[in-house]
Structure 1
């Protein structure tokens, strides 16, 4: 992986500075109650700088979208020779889970994060849009890799994963420690990918 230059590092630092300030305000007061001006002041930058990095306020909350796209793209394009692209994607999701990566979202600390989403119609809408973009991206990557049912497989895989993830979040929000069913959730992720891929394979083209 190429190490980013000083200019790129500085840009990432400013981006993180804005996102961190915004997230703290959102968690404390709710998404709709926080203005871009307040975020700029908390981050120590101008409103224009905020909009240069985040055209929409929702993107400050769901700030890991570009990272998710990069990770999943690398998973498929950088897979081992002969490896099925869906299997490569499954393995990367499992690795994120094992690493307790923030993108996996499987930890007790995410309870507050998801409460903000539940309380905000704007964030719920933004999340649906993000999932649609992610599905389209995965479908394009699978098609690029020569998968015969790219769109259907992407839709089924993401839906299966999302259902299992939502159930996990429900259990965590209900007070069940995430680590108490870590292995169970890992197995559920693997089954979701395998079952979705198998289901897609049973449906005739042009899907």
Structure 2
């Protein structure tokens, strides 16, 4: 046994890829709302029943390409080297993603990536699905933190929400700059600086920053 998938499994993977490719092509050309599931099935040369066997909802035809990322941070935390803090592992992983122009970091200016990002942003049902994606990432990360660090369940949940929010915000900022025409290579140094600042806030807390801002604005600490 060489560990490779069998013929039946390879056929399933090819069918899944063909359906996904047909769907993305149609969505990018005509818009997500303007394309029906029946049209996708016809383009992929499969029945609607077969399509739904692979993709239970129309939104999954798009979001499935990000599916691995839903539990990515949880995997990073679980697989981190001995002696490495969870937050440091997540930070280093994000910085690696920036360097490699991983689309999940928002720092990718390939035309196809930009079009797919715009497609998601402009379709309310896809935006809603991405919100569920984010919630799933928070739950998975909270479980990983609880299982690998000596912290309470509440602490794990709060930490997971903050970590996912920081990564989400950084990626959104990068994606917005890409959509505005800024090249990824030019944005890279600023993206690294922003990531460093954001993860430093996570590591050290925002209390000092907020207290300083409040004092400068004429608001006494504790008010």
What TM-score does the superposition give when structure 1 sets the normalisation length?
0.85
Equivalent in the alignment of 1:181: 187
1:169 aligns with 2:170: no
Moved more, 160-169 or 137-146: 160-169
Count of aligned residue pairs for this structure pair: 201
Deviations 1:159-206 (A, max 9, x none): 12222222222222122112211122133224323322432999xxxx
CA distance in 2, matches of 1:12, 1:163: 33
State the alpha-carbon separation in 2 of the partners of residues 201 and 141 from structure 1.
26
In structure 2, do the counterparts of structure 1 residues 13 and 102 end up closer, same or farther at CA, with 3 Å as the change threshold? farther
Say if 1:36 and 1:57, in contact at 8 Å, map to a contact too: yes
Q: 1:24 to 1:84 in 2, by over 3 A?
A: same
**What are the within-5 Å matches in structure 2 for residues 39-50 of structure 1?**
39-50=40-51
Equivalent residue for 2:131?
128
Residues 155, 201 of structure 1: CA spacing in aligned structure 2 closer, same or farther, 3 A cutoff? farther
Q: Give the TM-score of the pair, scaled to structure 2.
A: 0.80
Q: How does 1:1-207 map to 2 (within 5 A)?
A: 3-6=3-6, 7-69=8-70, 71-108=72-109, 109=111, 110-148=113-151, 149-199=155-205
Structure 1 residues 147 and 104: CA distance shift in structure 2, 3 A: farther
Structure possessing the higher radius of gyration over alpha carbons = 2
Worse-superposed segment, 110-119 or 148-157: 110-119
Partner of 1:205: none
Q: Residue 125 of structure 1: CA displacement?
A: 1.0
Question: In 2, Cα distance between the equivalents of 1:182 and 1:111?
Answer: 16
SS of the aligned residue for 2:205 comes to helix
Tell whether the 8 Å contact from 2:59 to 2:125 is kept in structure 1 after alignment.
yes
Q: Which runs of 5 or more structure 1 residues have no equivalent in the other structure?
A: 203-207
Deviations 1:32-80, CA, capped at 9 Å, x for gaps: 1111111111122221121111111111111234321454343222211
> Matched residue of 1:168: which SS?
helix
1:107: how far off? 1.4
| Cα distance in 2 between the residues matched to 1:116 and 1:66 | 17
